[in-house]
């Protein structure tokens, strides 16, 4: 802590000029390519048009990221979260030793993922840790996809946690060998697309760079964040041909190949168009998507003649359709409810997801968007074993999800959701909720029945999940202390 009366070493982002305000201050001009005629440029609108509302959210800061007082700052590290680099070293030095202890509990981070910890002694409340890819020219496509995932997952996490501001470092460190300019293109377009599509709740994004990185960022920022119509027009010829899809994700042309059973058929145009849109966004490669007559498959399902493998394939297609919608739609209003979020791990090291019943205003929200949000958040969580904690604490009639909605959700989700869910902890249940849950898990979703555990107090929950590994809403803590008495963690005897 700074001595009384001393000037704080931390930087208030409110005092920094936004990218829009920097117009005319840099003393730099975009050089036009005279070989391109003006009419030909105007014939193609810029994929990144002048948006002053977005530019006001962007700040370019040359200095130490760890000093920023953002809601969260980004730490770039390795898979073990113990990398030694200038950004990480500065964050650890200011955050204190508690950060290293908390990182040990995360048990690493995969390339492209993003994980959250507290900020401890930093001005930032949180630190988002990510792992950038190692770059090799022959594996460029994989590196681009992984780096996109880093920035996308950071922004997604910020939106889900209702963070007002995020401070980015240069994720692609020199040690990992990623060319700075190539990486910056991916960073800028991914953040821009996210702010356009899902970033209503995010007020500020700071790109923190060193003196050596500043020139590249200043050169490329106008391409993706033009500050005037003139700058947009001048930058249009300089924008790369490859700008990714609508989310900024790299697109691999060979993966867009589709094989149709009847290439010349014009029957049922509406259905074919829908299928083409679905298939264009789903799966790993073209040959994995070869299908037979879809209408015939549906008819066989109704007649009970389709094989189990074919039914699973049809179910997978349906889930992928929902997942594509979830990724494309703005779900920030549902995220703001804080009704579903990821926390730490249980005693077995499995990811813990929390559902807060009182935060679900069933009568006021769009339940279809709620379903999409659940799929979007949970899709990458459910690839490995996980548990769910549902706080039924102080829920009212307007918080109870209809059993038909829950049945529909259970029927839609991918098989991995059901297979990898190892326990569902139902905290503070009422007699009525126990009865309705018993009926639901017995007659509607029988596969869930053996996974439900009713817990009357937090002490029982803490035998499965350590207190420091779960973020519990304050009203739940207050209710439990009032009804069951305060919780005192067991301490080892000093004998």
Band the pLDDT of 26: cuts 50, 70, 90.
low
* Bridge partners (DSSP) listed for residue 353: 342, 388
CA–CA separation, 360 vs 340, rounded Å? 9
pLDDT digits (tens, 9 = 90+) for 111-140: 999 999 999 999 999 999 999 999 988 888
User: What's the confidence (pLDDT) of residue 61?
Assistant: 97
Provide the mean pLDDT of the chain.
83
User: What's the confidence (pLDDT) of residue 136?
Assistant: 87
pLDDT at 290 > cutoff 70: no
pLDDT digits (tens, 9 = 90+) for 393-446: 999 878 888 777 788 888 888 888 999 999 999 999 999 888 888 888 877 777
Domain ranges across the chain: 13-238, 263-328, 332-484
**Which 8-state DSSP code applies to residue 101?**
H
Question: Residue 47: helix, strand or coil by DSSP?
Answer: coil
User: What's the confidence (pLDDT) of residue 125?
Assistant: 94
Nearest to 222 by CA among 206, 237, 209: 237
| Contact criterion met (CB below 8 Å) for 74 and 438 | no
CA–CA separation, 162 vs 155, rounded Å? 10
Phi, psi of 312 (to 5 degrees): -65, -40
Q: SS3 helix, strand, coil % of the chain, rounded to 5?
A: 45, 15, 40
User: What's the confidence (pLDDT) of residue 54?
Assistant: 96
User: What's the confidence (pLDDT) of residue 253?
Assistant: 52
How many residues make up the chain in this entry?
495
Question: Residue 491: helix, strand or coil by DSSP?
Answer: coil
Question: Residue range 318-339: average pLDDT?
Answer: 86
Residue 406's alpha-carbon distances to 251, 348, 437, in angstroms, are 35, 27, 11
Please report which residue ranges of 81-198 form alpha helices under DSSP H. Answer: 86-95, 97-106, 140-160, 180-198
pLDDT digits (tens, 9 = 90+) for 238-254: 998 889 888 999 876 54
CA–CA separation, 33 vs 233, rounded Å? 11
The dihedral region occupied by 235, where left means phi > 0, alpha psi between -120 and 50, and beta the remainder, is alpha
| Contact criterion met (CB below 8 Å) for 427 and 458 | yes
pLDDT digits (tens, 9 = 90+) for 294-306: 555 555 555 555 5
DSSP strand pairing (114-118 vs 72-77): unpaired
**Which 8-state DSSP code applies to residue 307?**
-
CATH code of 13-238, in short, is 3.40.220.10
Q: What angle do CA 359, 363, 369 make, to 5 degrees?
A: 75
pLDDT digits (tens, 9 = 90+) for 192-216: 999 999 988 899 999 999 999 999 9
More confident residue, 51 or 406: 51
CA–CA separation, 313 vs 288, rounded Å? 11
User: What's the confidence (pLDDT) of residue 86?
Assistant: 93
Q: Which CATH superfamily is domain 332-484 in?
A: CRAL-TRIO lipid binding domain (3.40.525.10)
CB neighbours of residue 451 within 10 Å: 15
């Amino acid at each position: 802590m700074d001595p009384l009366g001393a000037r704080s070493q931390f930087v208030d982002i409110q005092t920094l000029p936004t990218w829009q305000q920097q117009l005319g201050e840099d003393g730099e001009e975009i050089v036009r390519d005279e070989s391109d005629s003006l009419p030909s440029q105007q014939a193609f609108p810029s994929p990144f048009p002048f948006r002053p509302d977005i530019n006001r959210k962007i700040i370019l800061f040359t200095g130490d990221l760890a000093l920023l007082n953002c809601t969260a700052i980004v730490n770039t590290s390795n898979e073990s979260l113990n990398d030694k680099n200038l950004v990480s070293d500065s964050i650890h030095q200011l955050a204190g030793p508690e950060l290293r202890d908390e990182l040990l509990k995360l048990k690493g981070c995969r390339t492209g993922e993003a994980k959250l910890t507290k900020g401890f002694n930093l001005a930032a409340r949180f630190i988002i840790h990510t792992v950038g890819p190692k770059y090799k020219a022959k594996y460029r496509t994989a590196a681009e996809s992984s780096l996109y995932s880093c920035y996308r997952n950071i922004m997604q996490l910020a939106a889900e946690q209702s963070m007002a501001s995020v401070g980015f470092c240069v994720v692609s460190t020199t040690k990992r060998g990623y060319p700075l300019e190539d990486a910056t293109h991916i960073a800028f377009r991914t953040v821009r697309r996210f702010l356009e599509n899902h970033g209503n709740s995010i007020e500020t994004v700071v790109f923190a760079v060193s003196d050596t990185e500043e020139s590249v960022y200043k050169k490329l920022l106008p391409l993706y964040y033009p500050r005037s119509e003139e700058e947009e027009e001048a930058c249009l010829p300089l924008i790369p041909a490859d700008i990714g899809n609508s989310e900024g994700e790299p697109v691999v042309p060979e993966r867009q190949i589709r094989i149709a059973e009847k290439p010349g058929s014009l029957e049922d145009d509406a259905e074919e168009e829908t299928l083409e849109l679905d298939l264009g966004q789903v799966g790993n490669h073209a040959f994995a998507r070869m299908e037979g007559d879809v209408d015939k498959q549906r008819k066989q399902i109704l007649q009970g003649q389709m094989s189990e493998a074919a039914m699973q394939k049809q179910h997978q297609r349906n889930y992928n359709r929902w997942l594509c919608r979830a990724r494309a739609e703005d779900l920030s209003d549902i995220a703001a409810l804080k009704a579903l979020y990821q926390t730490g791990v249980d005693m077995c090291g499995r990811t813990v997801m929390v559902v807060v019943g009182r935060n679900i205003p069933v009568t006021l929200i769009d339940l279809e968007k709620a379903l999409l949000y659940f799929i979007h958040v949970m899709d990458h969580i459910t690839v490995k074993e996980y548990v769910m904690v549902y706080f039924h604490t102080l829920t009212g009639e307007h918080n109870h999800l209809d059993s038909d909605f829950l049945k529909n959700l259970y029927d839609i989700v991918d098989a991995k959701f059901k297979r990898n869910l190892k326990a569902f902890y139902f905290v503070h249940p009422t007699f009525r909720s126990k009865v309705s849950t018993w009926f639901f898990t017995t007659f509607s979703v029988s596969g869930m029945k053996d996974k439900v555990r009713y817990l009357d107090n937090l002490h029982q929950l803490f035998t499965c999940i350590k207190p420091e590994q779960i973020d519990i809403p304050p009203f739940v803590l207050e209710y439990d202390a009032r009804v069951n008495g305060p919780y005192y963690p067991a301490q080892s005897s000093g004998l």
